[in-house]
Structure 1
Amino acid sequence: MPASITLSHLSWSAPDGRSLLSDLDLSFGPERTGLVGRNGVGKTTLLRLITGALPPHAGSVTVHGSLGILRQTVQIDPAGTIASLFGAVDALALLRRAETGEASAEELAGADWTLEARMASALADVGLDVPPETFLSNLSGGQNTRARLAALIFAKPDFLLLDEPTNNLDRDGRDAVLDLLERWRGGAIVVSHDRELLDTMDAVVELTSLGATRYGGNWSRYRERKALELAAARRDLADAEKRVAEIDRKAQEVVERKARKDGAAKRKRARGDMPRILMNGLKNRSEETSGSNARLAERRRVQAHEEAASARERIEILQPFSVVLAPTHLPAGRTVLAIDAASVGYEPERPILRDLSFTIVGPERVAVTGPNGSGKTTLLALITGQLQAWTGSVKVMTEFALFDQQVSLLDPSLTIRDNFRRINPDANENTCRAALARFMFRADAALQPVSTLSGGQLLRAGLACVLGGPKPPAFLILDEPTNHLDIDSIEAVEAGLRAYDGALLIVSHDGAFLESVRITRRWNLGDTT
């Protein structure tokens, strides 16, 4: 039987009772499928249901074939090695004993003599050249991701399940993943916000609060369809709102007409122009007719309002949050950052950055690039004062905000709303709630403790608290800002940053993001360290 994954009437609810996936019917065959959707909609949960890590609350998951899984985040075992990822610790130990003449004849008969060469080939496929005994803790985040991908391919599963495979990867690493998937002939389900990667997919499945929809073709074709759907939803909403206004207008006319008739009848009764029995009969018929008309009008009004609400819900799903920034008025000639002959590291006599000099003036937009391990995170720690320069000087000459990958500027013990008020003490409650609503934290959603947020929600909350206030800082430092955002959110952030009039320093491997925010200069650490 060909390898396949089938979901039948699949449902799963969060521990708080919130329905996350409801009555899904999907099938996956030997093709590359991108799984997209907003943060928190259930993409990672769906992968866990497929692997059996979570039991469904209703429905079933049927898997024909073997699965290879790349999870989004993993705790690194301090004792773990490249060999342990490949499940080859014992087999390699046997080869080492054979090399020194310590293996028995029985052991030699079972030795896998091609193992090390095949492992090296798998690692080379993702751009790694490291010995199998290398500790995982000695690798960068991007190198760890590459090593786990190599181990997956080495196992030759029928299906790959990849959760954000290009997160933390430098350009070479991303190219290795793209090349790997291009050559992959089995099935693959790829959860990603990487638009370049998604453009290599054969199909796209979108998860929303309304369910799952499959689109043939890659990301670009999917976006074309979504643009048409959004335009249609906006037309439907305009038509529905027009019907609501028309029904409300007619209902008001009926009320006013009845009031005029009632007034005329009352005046007739007062003059005694009509026999009482006839007058009472007309009054009763009028009340019955009015009651029937009122019930009909109310039904039409309720239906029109429901249609308008449904159209708004479709737009809410199709349209991302908005990022509207207040101006910083940063002058073009003002020096924002000045680094002069700075050296720094974590161990004495082993500088990671040496004799570094760099200046940002005015609203420049600088991208920090370089391979994994070149010192990008160290640079941000130096600029923000978390590390002190051993030699030279570092001066930040304006207010700034750092968005690291943990969004540490937020207090995890406080709610989103309380963090906003803490960071923006001059903002009143209405300003606070309006700003948070623009970032899709409406009503009770703004009262969530920061400690309970997902990665994408966390970054969105940080952006809301810093950029949504009346006085955003004139210098923003962003460390891999797209790693945990869904694609609609990335595009909304891009639109907001394009309108931002302050200085930007961005560490990112996402070329599409850097191009969209109109980077004016690139600083390649690989050329300076």
Structure 2
Amino acid sequence: MPAHSSVPATASTARTSVITLAGVDLSWPDGTPVLSGLDLLVPPGRSALVGANGAGKSTILRLVAGQIAPTGGQVAVSGRLGYLPQDLTLDAHRAVPDFLGIEETRRALRAIEAGSVDPADYDAVGDDWDIEERTIATLGRLGLPLDALDRRLGELSGGEVVQLGLARLLLARPDVLVLDEPTNNLDAAARDRLLDVVSTWTGSLLVVSHDRELLEHVDRIGELRDGSVRWYGGGYSAYAEQVAAEQEAAEQAVATARSDVRRQRNDRAEAERLLAQRKRQGARNAVRSNMGKGAQHYWQNRSEKNAARYRKLHDERLGAARERLEQAESRLREDREIRVDLPDTAVPRGRVVLRLHDLVLRNGVAVAGTGQLGLDLSGPDRIALVGGNGAGKSTLLHTVTGRVAPASGRVEVGVPVGLLPQRLDLLDDELTVFENVAAAAPGVDPNTVRAALARFLFRGERADRPAGTLSGGERFRASLAAVLLAAPAPQLLLLDEPTNNLDFASYDALVSALSAYRGALIVVSHDQGFLEDLGIDRVVELGGED
């Protein structure tokens, strides 16, 4: 029977693992298999889980958190668990103290301070007499303003919501902290604070992330690949070195095995040549010696038996060589990459792409334009848009596309524009990947759409999967395909935190694709390494609060 349990930490469990998955099977309600016989032991300390998009990392965290139940096997957690999902489900009207889980305790404290002797108030407070002080300290540690306690969730930016979710966990003081892509949407200062939390965490931690800087702060990295997890000691640099060494050894083994297969094939062909030569020579000798038919049959049968043994020997050697080659090739990593070639996105240098006229965003932030050093764009320029969480970066991108009206001023766009929003809400979850992309490119031949989708790794049945069933990384690829394959092709591309949820191979492919992109580009990103890899022309910083 499938089971999930949370047990008190003991000396024996501390020596072995804080999270245990034993023979876990999982299938979706429609019967689609997700995990089969997965065994996973997460030791105490700081651990990370990495792997290709769609491998099942977030699903494992949901199993650990008890949000979904396994079809078979057991899941156990040693101690109290705190879980930060990749996408927090939010009620925009919910008050922040209620979200933090402190509202009832605060109410009871105020009642006691006013003279209440109701036992229910004392039960509500429990051991949290310092909840106010701890909340203020936690918010300050994460860089959240104290007036956040007077807000509702809908008034916060995406990055602030992630920080608030982390604050809720820290206030609950769990034994095991489980985080799913926690650096998504965080600005540089917030990322530094998160790194401090991870590096100083005294309990146990399991984090799913592709953030290379964050991964340097863990004790070990487990790679989920082909349905099993393999552990590597150290942070990302150590992991990358070990993987590179394994790949070098695997490539050498493949080269050796292929050479052996060629040699065995040649030996097999040479054996057939020798057998044919001996057969012809035997026939000639029989004619010359006037050998009787009985003797001829005897020597012919003997020759054929020897030839069969000879062939079998070479066939066995060739078969063994092929088996060694298959084993060597199975150790090779064949990480697939997205490939984009979009000549229709080209913008001639000097063409006006974007012009801002006295633009003031709805949050009151003025954005320089019309000749000032700002966001006016000519030709295939590429700009990085930076600023703190809540500064209005996403608001500006939505204003450029016309989704959000400015407080004053106007935006002039001179080319087709495409936006990949931070929340990846472009897709209709009820439609397939193919149907979503085809809807963005009306009139384009369906076979052309499918061929283009194959470059984004949606081949065959994968293109016919409903968008609502995609993993975070798969949804990113599908959304990017819907934007880049649209008709007309975007010559101004707006990307809002595009590296969220990307595995290492997809990150490298995205950098390569955007480096070859021929249109103008505005990128919102807190990932300094990504901006450096992209080779941007200039940086524009926004300030202010939403």
Matching residue of 2:90: 76
Say whether 1:202 aligns with 2:219: yes
Matching residue of 1:393: 410
Say whether 1:178 aligns with 2:195: yes
Q: Kindly indicate whether the alpha-carbon contact (under 8 Å) linking 1:326 and 1:471 is maintained by their aligned counterparts in 2.
A: no
Q: CA 1:240/1:14 → structure 2, altered by over 3 Å: closer, same or farther?
A: farther
Matching residue of 1:88: 102
Classify the secondary structure of the residue corresponding to 1:336: strand
Q: Pairwise mapping of residues 300-319 of structure 1 onto structure 2 (< 5 A)?
A: 300-316=317-333, 319=335
Match 2:540 to one of 520, 523, 527: 523
Q: CA 1:465/1:81 → structure 2, altered by over 3 Å: closer, same or farther?
A: closer
Matching residue of 1:325: 341
Matching residue of 2:176: 159
Classify the secondary structure of the residue corresponding to 2:404: coil
Q: Pairwise mapping of residues 120-139 of structure 1 onto structure 2 (< 5 A)?
A: 120-128=136-144, 129-130=146-147, 132-139=149-156
- 2:331 maps to a residue whose letter is R
Shift of 1:8: 5.8
Classify the secondary structure of the residue corresponding to 2:333: helix
Say whether 1:493 aligns with 2:510: yes
- The root-mean-square deviation of aligned C-alpha atoms, in Å, is 3.6
Whole-angstrom CA distance in 1 between matches of 2:208 and 2:214? 10
Matching residue of 1:278: 295
Matching residue of 1:381: 398
Matching residue of 1:28: 43
Unaligned runs of 5+ in 2: 1-9, 370-374
Return 408-417 or 44-53, whichever deviates more.
Answer: 408-417
Matching residue of 1:213: 230
Match 1:502 to one of 495, 512, 519: 519
* Superimposed CA distance per residue, residues 310-355 of structure 1 (whole angstroms, 9 cap, x where no aligned partner): 44443335x342535355553332332222223453xxxxx55546
Shift of 1:254: 4.1
Matching residue of 1:227: 244
Q: Kindly indicate whether the alpha-carbon contact (under 8 Å) linking 2:419 and 2:483 is maintained by their aligned counterparts in 1.
A: no
Q: Kindly indicate whether the alpha-carbon contact (under 8 Å) linking 1:324 and 1:468 is maintained by their aligned counterparts in 2.
A: no
Shift of 1:374: 1.9
Whole-angstrom CA distance in 1 between matches of 2:80 and 2:521? 45
* Superimposed CA distance per residue, residues 193-251 of structure 1 (whole angstroms, 9 cap, x where no aligned partner): 11111111122121111521212211111111111122222222222333333333443
Classify the secondary structure of the residue corresponding to 2:505: helix
Say whether 1:67 aligns with 2:85: no
Match 2:134 to one of 118, 122, 126: 118
Match 1:18 to one of 20, 33, 37: 33
Q: CA 1:263/1:107 → structure 2, altered by over 3 Å: closer, same or farther?
A: closer
* Number of residue equivalences: 520
Shift of 1:160: 0.9
Return 470-479 or 499-508, whichever deviates more.
Answer: 470-479
Whole-angstrom CA distance in 1 between matches of 2:442 and 2:300? 63
* Superimposed CA distance per residue, residues 159-216 of structure 1 (whole angstroms, 9 cap, x where no aligned partner): 1111111212222221221122222211111111111111111221211115212122
Say whether 1:188 aligns with 2:205: yes
Q: Kindly indicate whether the alpha-carbon contact (under 8 Å) linking 1:10 and 1:56 is maintained by their aligned counterparts in 2.
A: no
Whole-angstrom CA distance in 1 between matches of 2:22 and 2:308? 45
Match 2:67 to one of 25, 46, 53: 53
- TM-score, normalised to structure 1's length? 0.85
Classify the secondary structure of the residue corresponding to 1:394: strand
Whole-angstrom CA distance in 2 between matches of 1:262 and 1:68? 78
* Superimposed CA distance per residue, residues 107-154 of structure 1 (whole angstroms, 9 cap, x where no aligned partner): 787766533222211221211123535322322222222122112112
* Superimposed CA distance per residue, residues 439-464 of structure 1 (whole angstroms, 9 cap, x where no aligned partner): 44445434433332112112223445
Q: Kindly indicate whether the alpha-carbon contact (under 8 Å) linking 1:195 and 1:512 is maintained by their aligned counterparts in 2.
A: no
* Superimposed CA distance per residue, residues 398-448 of structure 1 (whole angstroms, 9 cap, x where no aligned partner): 344322245455565554456666749777959954x55554444543443
Whole-angstrom CA distance in 2 between matches of 1:228 and 1:430? 40
Q: CA 1:418/1:50 → structure 2, altered by over 3 Å: closer, same or farther?
A: closer
Return 353-362 or 475-484, whichever deviates more.
Answer: 353-362
Whole-angstrom CA distance in 1 between matches of 2:491 and 2:516? 13
Say whether 1:452 aligns with 2:469: yes
Whole-angstrom CA distance in 2 between matches of 1:359 and 1:497? 20
Q: Kindly indicate whether the alpha-carbon contact (under 8 Å) linking 1:413 and 1:449 is maintained by their aligned counterparts in 2.
A: yes
Whole-angstrom CA distance in 1 between matches of 2:455 and 2:318? 29
Q: Kindly indicate whether the alpha-carbon contact (under 8 Å) linking 1:420 and 1:465 is maintained by their aligned counterparts in 2.
A: yes
Say whether 1:7 aligns with 2:24: no
Q: Kindly indicate whether the alpha-carbon contact (under 8 Å) linking 2:247 and 2:333 is maintained by their aligned counterparts in 1.
A: no
- TM-score, normalised to structure 2's length? 0.82
Q: CA 1:156/1:419 → structure 2, altered by over 3 Å: closer, same or farther?
A: closer
Q: Kindly indicate whether the alpha-carbon contact (under 8 Å) linking 1:356 and 1:528 is maintained by their aligned counterparts in 2.
A: no
Shift of 1:506: 0.9
Whole-angstrom CA distance in 2 between matches of 1:501 and 1:156? 50
Q: Kindly indicate whether the alpha-carbon contact (under 8 Å) linking 2:390 and 2:545 is maintained by their aligned counterparts in 1.
A: no
Identity %: 36
Q: Kindly indicate whether the alpha-carbon contact (under 8 Å) linking 2:364 and 2:407 is maintained by their aligned counterparts in 1.
A: no
* Superimposed CA distance per residue, residues 65-117 of structure 1 (whole angstroms, 9 cap, x where no aligned partner): 22222122222135533322343222222334456x47457678776653322
Whole-angstrom CA distance in 2 between matches of 1:186 and 1:481? 32
